[in-house]
Amino acid sequence: MLKNEQRHQHKDYIELSIKNDEDEPPDHEETDEKNQQTEALLTKEESQNYQENGSSSSSSDTFLYYEETDKKEEPNENSLAIQAFPSLIISMIGLILAGDLMDEFQSSDVFLKTPELFILLPILLNLKGNLEMNLAARFSTSSNLGELDYGTTRRSLILGNLSLLQVQSLVAGAIAGLASFALGLITRPGSNYPSYYEMMFMTASAMVSASFSAAILGIFMCALIVLCRKLNIDPDNIACPMASSTGDIVTLVLLAVCASLLQHQMETILSTAIVVGMLAMIPLFSIIVWRNKHVKDLLFAGWTPIILAMVISSLAGILLEEYVEEYKGIALLTPVLIGLAGNLGSIYASRISTCLHAETKESYKTVEYTLLIMNLPVQAIYMFIIWIFGLGRLQYNFWFFITYFIVSMLSAWISLTIGKFMTIVFWKMGYDPDNYVIPYLTACIDVVGTILLVVTFSVLTSTGATDMSVSAAP
């Protein structure tokens, strides 16, 4: 990874040069040589002006001009709420739709005949979500650094990132399929299906849905961020929530379709052939990534946080499964609670990472308080939706609403704190936060948010404020 100083030490020259949409930005060595020539020319002109006019007014004017270009543009916090609020609302709606789809799929034949799909869902969604949010953060940084302003560089970045996303998604799909099958053997010994064919069925379903989902969402995210650059909108404010909300829905639908089509051919070699074909695509996309100078280093980077995040999130899944039958509303409230908190933290981390790359200043407290306050109206809209439609069979009273808002604000504050801390720490350690922070952040919020909600429901029930137990009457 290029050091920050090496990457931006000649920013003045790039800003003063004439940009051609079809040209690449100048290389660092070329920029060094031209800057040296410019400095020598300025020194010569300064000497001549002094000899001819007895003063250095021309040099002073030139110095002031360059001094002005050296000022770094600070991010505008006033536009944060305007740009981020709609994306958070869309994210919230997407989380609700994803929850409804999950409820529908749980009663479908394909899920009832293959219970391992229930194990596969959270693993696959977690892995895929982290990959797409990493892409959103990474591409947003490229946009804010001006790298998308050059036609050749823009095309190279898009092709490289989409190819990298395919490699990561295919590997993640294989891991999710094998992991869910292994967990299924532990929790459901004596399965009626042949183990080998069921393993291939799970792996093929996961890899196909992950690959197609990556293609759809990758193209969508790249197009969205390029459009944001054209419209002078900061993609850091909207990209991560959009990737999170749309990713779950698309992956859910594709997994259900793939599993339904392949289940009828489970005891044939069709799933095996699909797995072999998908595995063969990994080296092909890897070659494309390896030959792309913009994303080459990312081929072997960032895998550790993605895998560890899956393990951490599985703890939240175990906790959720333990209490979902004890307290009503847990399955309904948890995805939105942790999803919105994770999105707020991801926006914060993405903005800080961009500022670190671009060497601009971020008003941390202003951005943090703005994002924290934005959580209130979004959660209020969510509460209104589930109340008006009577979702979750919950007892809606003052204590329920006040405790939920306290938990949601606490989760959001923890997410923002973790996001800021991790971004700065990884940057100081020499790692690109765009590739490391978000997986750990979302995994931690999964566990923390689930624990807070379970504890809150337990306290409400034990104190008699609101009976949240499943046996209680609605």
Comparing 38-47, 119-128, 151-160, 420-429, the range with the smallest average pLDDT is 38-47
| Pick from 153, 126, 148, 452: nearest CA to 307 | 126
- pLDDT at residue 118 in the model: 77
Query: Does the structure show a pLDDT above 50 at 71?
Result: no
Query: Does the structure show a pLDDT above 60 at 299?
Result: yes
Query: Does the structure show a pLDDT above 80 at 96?
Result: yes
Burial class (CB within 10 angstroms; exposed 0-12, middle 13-18, buried 19+) of 241: buried
Cα–Cα distance for residue pair 90/98, rounded to 1 Å: 12
Inter-residue contact 337 to 449 (CB < 8 Å): yes
Distance between alpha carbon 469 and the CA centroid of its chain, in Å?
A: 34
Cα–Cα distance for residue pair 391/331, rounded to 1 Å: 11
- CB count, 10 Å around CB of 61? 11
Query: Does the structure show a pLDDT above 90 at 280?
Result: yes
- CB count, 10 Å around CB of 264? 10
- pLDDT at residue 14 in the model: 27
- pLDDT at residue 148 in the model: 87
- pLDDT at residue 423 in the model: 94
CA count, 13 A, side-chain hemisphere, 116: 29
Q: pLDDT band for 264, please (50, 70, 90 cuts).
A: confident
- pLDDT at residue 18 in the model: 34
Cα–Cα distance for residue pair 26/304, rounded to 1 Å: 33
Query: Does the structure show a pLDDT above 80 at 2?
Result: no
Q: pLDDT band for 304, please (50, 70, 90 cuts).
A: confident
**pLDDT per residue as tens digits for the range 233-254:** 889 989 988 888 888 888 888 9
Cα–Cα distance for residue pair 468/458, rounded to 1 Å: 8
Query: Does the structure show a pLDDT above 90 at 346?
Result: yes
Query: Does the structure show a pLDDT above 60 at 385?
Result: yes
Domain ranges of the chain: 77-463
**pLDDT per residue as tens digits for the range 428-467:** 999 999 989 999 998 899 889 888 988 888 888 888 777 6
Q: Work out the average pLDDT over 304-320.
A: 79
pLDDT > 90 in the chain, percent: 30
DSSP 155-189: HHHHHHHHHHHHHHHHHHHHHHHHHHHHHHHHHS-
Query: Does the structure show a pLDDT above 90 at 117?
Result: no
Q: pLDDT band for 170, please (50, 70, 90 cuts).
A: very high
Contacts of 474 (CB under 8 A, 6+ apart): 393, 394, 395
Query: Does the structure show a pLDDT above 80 at 275?
Result: yes
| Pick from 395, 389, 385, 387: nearest CA to 471 | 395
Q: Work out the average pLDDT over 401-411.
A: 92
Comparing 26-35, 182-191, 338-347, 388-397, the range with the smallest average pLDDT is 26-35
Q: Work out the average pLDDT over 43-47.
A: 44
Residue 169, both tokens: 């998604």
pTM of the model: 0.77
- pLDDT at residue 187 in the model: 67
| Sequence letter at residue 171 | V
Q: Work out the average pLDDT over 80-93.
A: 88
Q: pLDDT band for 193, please (50, 70, 90 cuts).
A: low
| Pick from 172, 80, 236, 133: nearest CA to 445 | 133
Distances from the Cα of 307 to the Cα of 168, 255, 443, angstroms: 11, 20, 11
- pLDDT at residue 13 in the model: 30
Contacts of 468 (CB under 8 A, 6+ apart): 327, 328, 329, 394, 395, 400, 457, 460, 461
Query: Does the structure show a pLDDT above 70 at 120?
Result: yes
